[in-house]
With several copies, the nearest count.
Chain A
Amino acid sequence: MTSIVKPRIDKHLRRNQLGLTVRDYEGVMSTLCAGCGHDSVTAAFVQAFHEMNLEPHRAAKVSGIGCSSKTTAYFLGQSSGINSVHGRMPSVATGAAAVNPDLYYIGVSGDGDSLSIGIGQFAHAIRRNLNMLYCIENNGVYGLTKGQFSASADIGTKAKYGEVNEQPPIDPVLLALSLGATFVARGFSGDKKQLVPLMKAALAHKGFALIDIVSPCVTFNDHKGSTKSYAHTYEYYHPVIHADFVPEEAEITAEYQDGGAITVPMHHGGNVTLRKLGRDYDPRDRDQAFHLLRTREGSEVLTGLLYIDETKPDMGDMNRLPDEPLNVMDYSKLCPGSAKLAEVMKGYS
């Protein structure tokens, strides 16, 4: 509710390089259910942006419709945002990013929004390697319309009122991989320690960065029998690769050098470090990513940065966009003038 003013007690909060505290990265008060996973994701966003020293107004928030999509109002209150129509956020983001590639595009969607009505736009945004951070707050249900199965519900999942899902789920991670996505990760709203660094790495990525976040719906899909519940996710949770962004100026610390960290230099500067957790797995190898995912099917919730490719051209490159964003380009560069028109007219005389 915008009508509720949040208390601001931020005197003792840590300030980042811009002199801002986490409060400066918050938005209006959440209207989600108490305990909703999405609120934890919002908190992770706030922390990640703060740690990344993002100038709030240099971000643009895009979303569709759903409880998840509502959350863009709950963080980055000093950024512009657009809450579009159901399932069509990627297209809005595409147009926005095309004319101003300099902003950070933060997309928030739900499993209904991205995998049912919006799967086409989701797929094609991946194909264009649209430079954005795209989070699916995945709870296996349609929260806002009160608990229908979504396309990510696993076979055998029980709905709150007893129905059992028989259709195979669409796994956004596998789908994104098969569509050639360049940054594919999975997180869990319950593990901010993993999620925040993932978000930072995704922000640093040039291209489409997907984070599929298991984010339980406490109201409609957190009961026994739901594979997207907190309990189930904790039980089968398996972090594979820890990824974090290390800014240019910072040294890669010992923490990362342990366990044979891999360093991926990022296009816009800085590095993403990758630390293996338990498996021998290189997320720069698409074959291995496929292999890992198809062998895990159903048995584990694999999380972490599962695949990264920093070498691919993004949408801006493929469209040879100029350095000066089109949205502020002076009219003199856009209008060829009367003399040119007269020349063009010759071809039609």
Chain B
Amino acid sequence: MNAVTGTSARTRVNDFVIKIANVNGTGSASANGLLMKAIFRMGIPVVGKNLFPSNIQGLPTWYEIRVTGDGWTGRSGEVDIMVAMNLESYARDLKDVSPGGVLIYDSTWPRPSLLSRDDVTVLGIPLARMCNENFANARTRVLMKNMAYVGVVAALTGVDMAVIQTLVEEMFGAKPKLIPPNMQAVEMGYNYAKEHFTQPLAFKLEALDKTSDCIMIDGNTAAALGCVYAGASFGAWYPITPSTSLMDGFKSFCEQLRVDPETGKNNYCIIQAEDELSAIGMVIGASWNGARAFTPTSGPGISLMSEFIGFAYYSEVPAVLFDVQRVGPSTGMPTRTQQGDILLAAYASHGDTKHIVLFPANPKECFDFAVEAFDLAERFQTPVFVLSDLDIGMNDWMTPKLEWDDSRRPDRGKVYHAADLEKIEKFYRYLDVDGDGIPYRTIPGEHPKGAYFTRGSGHTKYGGYTEDSAAYQDVLDRILQKWKNAATKVPGPEIVRCGKPTRIAILTVGGCDGAAKEAIARLNAEDDLDIDYLRVRAFPFHPEIENFIANYDTVFVLEQNRDAQLRTLLVTETTARKDQLVSILDYAGMPANPHLIVDRVREHIASQG
């Protein structure tokens, strides 16, 4: 019988990281999700990160569960308990464990003898052997091994087995026959650990009540729900990681919520296009015809859509594009995360073009901004980007329950319907009737007087073709004005002031939110630094952003790309001075963690004497 001997003196309650190393295609993701959900159901906040390869079967994959009683939302960067199920990555995995941590491995086969660390507790459990003894079918054995290590971790950290039981029942609701073997596997691991390891681990779970108003959801699913609630009736797409699950989500919600119960017909239309050029073309066609339409994609898709994006911009057709960013350039690392398309989205297409871009930071904002994006696209008659990323889009985040206000109505922007057209003498598509830069549009086919011709070639404010300099410029200037006017209509920044006078701030965007806030807290606690915080939520920049920056000597601009793309936009589109803006760049493909931020801030402050 192995005795667990932690090198760490004190027990860490509800504050540690479990990482599971496995081979993809072995069904481990659902077991890992189950483990995380169980902790969440115990009322303890969690952060989950699925680090998977761009491949279907056979390559290393990891799942990180951060248990964070304090409710941090970023990745921690530490590993306290490593479940090392993959022989191939075993050496790396052992190396990654933080001093004082624990490593659990399958002791069915001898583990590489050379690999070992004094400062890590290594626990072997014959998972494969136990599964082979208890289950007949080969695939079942593989699957059950995953459930077995869930049981082991449950025993060692104190996961409530009743919660696991409930979750397994929910999981196999449709196939109740699968419940007993799965519970058997969990219990097998649980019992083995209980029997063989006597001393408690240094890492313990204790039930809290901090998650009852929350859900665990990924950003793509939340965005899909946002599209449903925004009243989007048309979606076109071409599959691409990590955006695929957005359309999968939209489809399944529509099947559930949007099929006419009487006729069985669909109150939506989803088309899998032949490529991204076609997907955006379809969205433009549907929008032009008066429907709310969107396409989810990732970087390569945006590159391919560039020509059409300029068309929509110049001919003023609304369109909503979700760019769930992955690591670029080119094919890059399709299953890693980055914020590398910020500049592209802001200025996509040839010629002078500026777009509206929303930057959600978590699934809740994916939902909210999806809804917002359709309003903005129709209000400003222009393409609107929702710039999410793989981390937000594909990982399950703890987030407040999504809610809907039934009195909310979509803002369809300025549309002359039949009755309006009856009243006016003549309709001109690009005329700035109200002086706000936004012309009126009509729904093709609705009324003879509303007919107009849309083109991406030079046109006058009346909508006619032109090659005349002044007439051309008139329209192009108005379009810029319209974009500028959007600055106060897009979501304003999130600002968190530390409450003390300070000359330092951190400014960031999207999913860096949690890591930045945690870094600020640490720098306050450990270095006694007072730091204010701003998170950009949209482009064009809300005036509050430049007002905020004006108050600091140093604004650290934290973003996940190599080229400081957000900083470029800030420098270009606000009054901020360049010397105020100090970049912190974290672009290696992993969800942001506070370490790098803390280090960079310290370095910078030290360098300033």
A contact set with B: CB distance below 8 Å = 1-4, 31-34, 55-60, 62, 65, 67, 72-73, 77-88, 90-100, 102-103, 116-117, 119-121, 123-124, 128, 142-146, 148-149, 151, 219, 319-323, 326-329, 331, 333-338, 340-342, 344-345, 348-349
Contact = CB atoms under 8 A, between A and B. Distances in A.
A322 B254 CA distance: 14
A86 B59 contact: no
Q: Which of B241, B256, B272, B300 gathers most chain A CB within 10 Å?
A: B272
A341 B403 contact: yes
Contact of A336 (B25, B228, B401, B457): B228
A33 B257 contact: no
A331 B410 contact: yes
A69 to B, nearest CB: 10
Contacts of B403: 338, 341-342
Contact of A88 (B269, B278, B450): B278
Given A31-B58, A80-B452, A341-B404, A321 B265 contact: yes
Nearest to B409: A331
Contacts of B442: 80
Contacts of A86: 275, 300
A95 B290 CA distance: 10
Interface of B: 25, 54-59, 88, 214-217, 221, 225, 228-234, 236, 238-241, 244, 253, 256-258, 260, 263-291, 293, 300, 307-308, 311, 315, 330-331, 401-406, 409-410, 442-448, 450-457, 464-465
A33 B215 CA distance: 34
B229 A60 contact: no
Contacts of A91: 236, 273, 277-282, 284-285
A95 B234 contact: yes
A111 B216 CA distance: 36
A111 to B, nearest CB: 12
Contacts of B214: 349
Contact of B289 (A56, A57, A327, A344): A327
Contact of A327 (B56, B277, B331, B443): B443
A93 B285 contact: yes
Given A83-B456, A88-B281, A95-B287, A348 B217 contact: yes
A335 B234 contact: no
A95 B286 contact: yes
6 contacts: A1-B88, A90-B278, A91-B285, A95-B285, A123-B274, A328-B443
A100 B290 contact: yes
Given A92-B281, A329-B267, A335-B231, A33 B58 contact: yes
Given A2-B464, A148-B239, A334-B231, A57 B445 contact: yes
A116 B286 CA distance: 21
Nearest to B59: A31
A240 to B, nearest CB: 30
B286 to A, nearest CB: 4
Given A321-B265, A331-B231, A95 B451 contact: no
A164 B11 CA distance: 55
A321 to B, nearest CB: 6
A322 B448 contact: no
Given A85-B300, A95-B281, 4 more contacts: A79-B451, A91-B279, A329-B233, A335-B231
Contacts of A84: 281, 284, 308, 311, 456
Nearest to B241: A145
A33 B452 contact: no
B234 A145 contact: no
Contacts of B308: 84-85, 88
Given A2-B465, A58-B445, A117 B275 contact: yes
Contacts of A148: 239, 272
A92 B280 CA distance: 8
Contacts of A323: 263, 265
Contact of A85 (B258, B270, B331, B401): B331
B258 A334 contact: yes
A57 B288 contact: no
A57 B300 contact: no
B405 A87 contact: no
Nearest to A99: B291
Nearest to A319: B269
A32 B54 CA distance: 11
A144 B264 contact: no
Contacts of B401: 342, 345, 349
Nearest to A98: B269
B229 A116 contact: no
Contact of B233 (A92, A123, A334): A334
B257 A340 contact: yes
Nearest to A67: B56
Given A95-B282, A326-B269, A65 B291 contact: no
Instruction: Give the interface centre of B263, B266, B274, B290 by most chain A CB atoms within 10 Å.
Output: B274
Nearest to B237: A148
Nearest to B308: A85
Contact of B445 (A60, A65, A93): A60
B275 A116 contact: yes
B410 A124 contact: no
B274 A151 contact: yes
Contacts of A55: 448
A88 B277 contact: yes
Contacts of B453: 72-73, 80-83
Contacts of A128: 271
A251 B403 CA distance: 61
A124 B274 contact: yes
A83 B455 CA distance: 5
Nearest to B240: A145
A95 B456 contact: no
Nearest to A27: B453
A219 B290 contact: no
A344 B225 contact: yes
B275 A80 contact: no
Contacts of A100: 289-291, 444-445
B264 A320 contact: yes
A65 B456 CA distance: 10
A93 B272 CA distance: 15
B172 to A, nearest CB: 14
B274 A117 contact: yes
A88 B274 CA distance: 12
Contact of A80 (B258, B287, B444, B464): B444
A117 B279 CA distance: 11
Nearest to B407: A338
A82 to B, nearest CB: 4
A348 B457 contact: no
A120 B233 CA distance: 25
A149 B272 contact: yes
Nearest to B291: A99
* 6 closest residue pairs by CB, A with B: A91-B281, A95-B285, A95-B282, A80-B444, A95-B286, A117-B275
B57 A33 contact: yes
Contacts of B311: 84-85
Contacts of B230: 335
Contact of B448 (A57, A87, A349): A57
Contacts of B446: 57, 328
Nearest to A83: B455
A140 to B, nearest CB: 14
A145 B244 contact: yes
B410 A96 contact: no
A94 B288 CA distance: 12
